[in-house]
Amino acid sequence: MAQQSSSTTERSTREEMAQAWPFYIIVSLVMIGGYVNAITSDPSLRQPARLALLTVLLLAHGGLYWTSPYLLLNRRRLVVFCVVQGTLAFAIGMIAQGHWLVMGLYPALIGLVTAAFWPNVRASILAGSLCFSLMALNLIITWGFQEFLQLLPFVGLMLAFVVIYVLLFVRQVEARERAQALLHELETAHRQLQAYADQVEELTIGRERERMARELHDTLAQGLAGLILQLEAADSYLEKDNPVRAQEIVQQAMQRARTTLDEARRAIQALRPSALERGSLIDALGQAIDQFGATTSVRTTFEVDTRPPGVSQEAAQDILRIVQESLSNVAHHAHADHVLVQLAERDGGLHLVVQDDGVGFDLAEGLERPSCFGLAGMQERASRLGGTLRVESAPEEGTKVTLEIGKGER
């Protein structure tokens, strides 16, 4: 990770310095113009030895500028670069004495080292001051102190231009760094959001699997279990040579199969709660109760003592499923003549009752049965709603299922 960060920093620095190519072109043009003007105006510079030395020094000085994006990647190489460039500029100034080429070399050097040491303000000021002092010394030695004082206004204008350019360059670098930091933050946030989305998807899939398991139990599992028992009974009567009784049981199994198929279709359709999408929870409950009465011939009563409750779609679906499971238990086990469903508002919460006048059952024995998945599913839904579910029953006294949801859980 550290190597990757270092590589990224070096690449960023190299790109920032490489984008200063207009600066390098201007410096190169100044050096070329100064070189040509110097050797044409000063015959002594055309001597082979001085000409060769001046040419080599200028080529080295200019070449270091163009390779600076690859050299100024750490403080040690930056210091070496400044010392070498300062030495070359001073040597060129001593060879081309009295020529304006000297003043053309130092402003570029001052601007480059000032920008290279940024954002360390002290280091930038110190490096620029040292280069300016070296230029002043070079001009005083070659032109004299009085001449240097006369050139100060011109030198000041050049330095002002360099300072403005450096400031613009530094601002550009800082803006790019801020943009890169913002991009990095956005990438980090995107990765975090993706991780959160994956977690939510996993939780959603898990909850959907639990919901589908409950739906399958409420329809196919119970129906198929009953069919198996009836078919085993029919087979037993056939072995006992009692085809009449076997035929009666087979007909009952056929009716159960039709009922199970109908419930399975309704459960598959209910994977998307279309009844809830079309109306309120009260409407969906009324529709479920009407369907129950039509398919079982059990007399039903639906009493509502509340306005349409303001519950979420998911909570409404859980309430609907609890009622459907309770009615399914009545149809399969209660042998009831009448079922009462009440929905009321109490203390700001919901109070739901499903009560039948059927045969009832021993509550302790019924809850201990391994196959008693329906009540467990109802309890799970009630817990998810933040409510409580009570089942009251006794042999020959019917069954009463009560769901209570507090105000804060709606």
**Which residue would you say has higher pLDDT here, 251 or 70?**
251
Angle between helices 145-216 and 121-143 (to 10 degrees): 160
CB atoms within 10 A of CB 227: 16
In this prediction, residue 4 carries a pLDDT of: 44
On whether residue 251 sits in a domain, the answer given is no
In this prediction, residue 15 carries a pLDDT of: 54
In this prediction, residue 71 carries a pLDDT of: 63
* Contact partners, residue 129, CB within 8 Å, separation at least 6: none
On whether residue 283 sits in a domain, the answer given is no
**Which residue would you say has higher pLDDT here, 55 or 100?**
55
The pTM score is 0.40
Per-residue pLDDT band at 58 (split at 50, 70, 90): confident
User: What strands, in cross-sheet order, belong to the sheet with 388-393?
Assistant: 299-305, 338-346, 349-356, 399-405, 388-393
Give the residue from 218, 175, 169 showing the smallest Cα distance to 68. 169
Length of the chain: 410
Domain end call among 143, 176, 192: 143
Percent of the chain with pLDDT over 70: 78
On whether residue 399 sits in a domain, the answer given is yes
**Cα–Cα distance for residue pair 100/35, rounded to 1 Å:** 10
What's the gap between Cα 401 and its chain centre?
A: 44
Per-residue pLDDT band at 347 (split at 50, 70, 90): confident
For residue 86, give the H/E element and its range: helix 75-95
On whether residue 42 sits in a domain, the answer given is yes
In this prediction, residue 210 carries a pLDDT of: 72
Q: Is the pLDDT of residue 20 over 70?
A: no
Per-residue pLDDT band at 5 (split at 50, 70, 90): very low
Q: How many domains is the chain partitioned into structurally?
A: 2
- The half-sphere exposure of 268 on its side-chain side, counting CA atoms within 13 A, is 6
Per-residue pLDDT band at 404 (split at 50, 70, 90): very high
154-161 CB contacts, 8 Å cutoff, 24+ apart = 154/103, 155/103, 158/103, 158/107, 159/107, 159/110, 159/132, 161/107
For residue 202, give the H/E element and its range: helix 145-216
Tokens representing 140 are 């005083």
**Which residue would you say has higher pLDDT here, 164 or 355?**
355
Q: Is the pLDDT of residue 372 over 60?
A: no
Q: Is the pLDDT of residue 2 over 50?
A: no
Percent of the chain with pLDDT over 90: 9
On whether residue 50 sits in a domain, the answer given is yes
| pLDDT per position as a tens digit, 28-54 | 888 888 888 888 888 888 888 888 888
Tokens representing 338 are 């009448």
Q: Is the pLDDT of residue 208 over 80?
A: no
**Cα–Cα distance for residue pair 271/268, rounded to 1 Å:** 5
Cβ atoms of residues 35 and 58 within 8 Å: yes
- Residues 168, 173, 174, 178, CA torsion sign: positive
Omega cis (within 30) before 119: yes
Tokens representing 177 are 């760094």
In this prediction, residue 6 carries a pLDDT of: 47
For residue 298, give the H/E element and its range: none
- The half-sphere exposure of 148 on its side-chain side, counting CA atoms within 13 A, is 16
Q: Is the pLDDT of residue 313 over 90?
A: no
Per-residue pLDDT band at 9 (split at 50, 70, 90): very low
CATH number, domain of 409, equals 3.30.565.10
Q: Is the pLDDT of residue 146 over 60?
A: yes
On whether residue 61 sits in a domain, the answer given is yes
Give the residue from 5, 11, 27 showing the smallest Cα distance to 176. 11
Domain that holds residue 389: 298-410
| Parallel/antiparallel/unpaired status of strands 299-305 and 338-346 | parallel
Q: Which of 224-228, 361-365, 386-390 has the highest mean pLDDT?
A: 386-390
On whether residue 128 sits in a domain, the answer given is yes
Tokens representing 114 are 């000032």
Domain end call among 87, 119, 143: 143
Give phi and psi for 356, each to the nearest 5: -125, 165
**What is the chain's mean pLDDT, rounded?**
77
**Cα–Cα distance for residue pair 327/321, rounded to 1 Å:** 10
Domain end call among 103, 119, 143: 143
- Planar angle of CA 95, 98, 99, nearest 5 degrees: 80
CB atoms within 10 A of CB 365: 10
Per-residue pLDDT band at 275 (split at 50, 70, 90): low
In this prediction, residue 341 carries a pLDDT of: 94
**Which residue would you say has higher pLDDT here, 139 or 57?**
57
Q: Give the mean model confidence (pLDDT) for residues 195-218.
A: 71
| pLDDT per position as a tens digit, 380-397 | 888 888 899 999 998 888
On whether residue 193 sits in a domain, the answer given is no
Cα separation values, 283 from 95, 196, 287, 385, Å: 101, 36, 6, 20
- Planar angle of CA 23, 28, 29, nearest 5 degrees: 100
